[in-house]
Amino acid sequence: MSQKKNAHAVALGRLGGLKGGKARAENLSAKELSAIGKKAGKVGGKARAESLTPARRKAIAKKAAKRSAEVRSKNAEERKAREGK
């Protein structure tokens, strides 16, 4: 038995669906929103990692290591400056 969908009901459902995510996010606490974001980040990060070529992965790791060394150096300089005063 094939039934036609009520065009008005479809339009109302779509209207609710378009604003549903924003309305839900407004009603969530910061902690709940953070938990949802972390869960999504893990899924997205895994998919990205699987799609990276070894050369690209190496380039990203080098860039991260370089930045980490810069931050450590900057922190050490700031620590020395504070102790010197």
Q: Model confidence over 3-49: pLDDT tens digits?
A: 888 888 888 887 777 777 778 888 899 999 999 889 888 888 788 88
pLDDT at res. 76: 94
Report whether pLDDT(1) > 60: no
Question: What confidence tier does 2 reach under pLDDT thresholds 50, 70, 90?
Answer: low
Q: For the whole prediction, is pTM greater than 0.85?
A: no
Q: Given CA atoms 72, 77, 78, 82 in this order, what sign does their dihedral have?
A: positive
Q: Given CA atoms 27, 32, 36, 37 in this order, what sign does their dihedral have?
A: positive
pLDDT at res. 9: 85
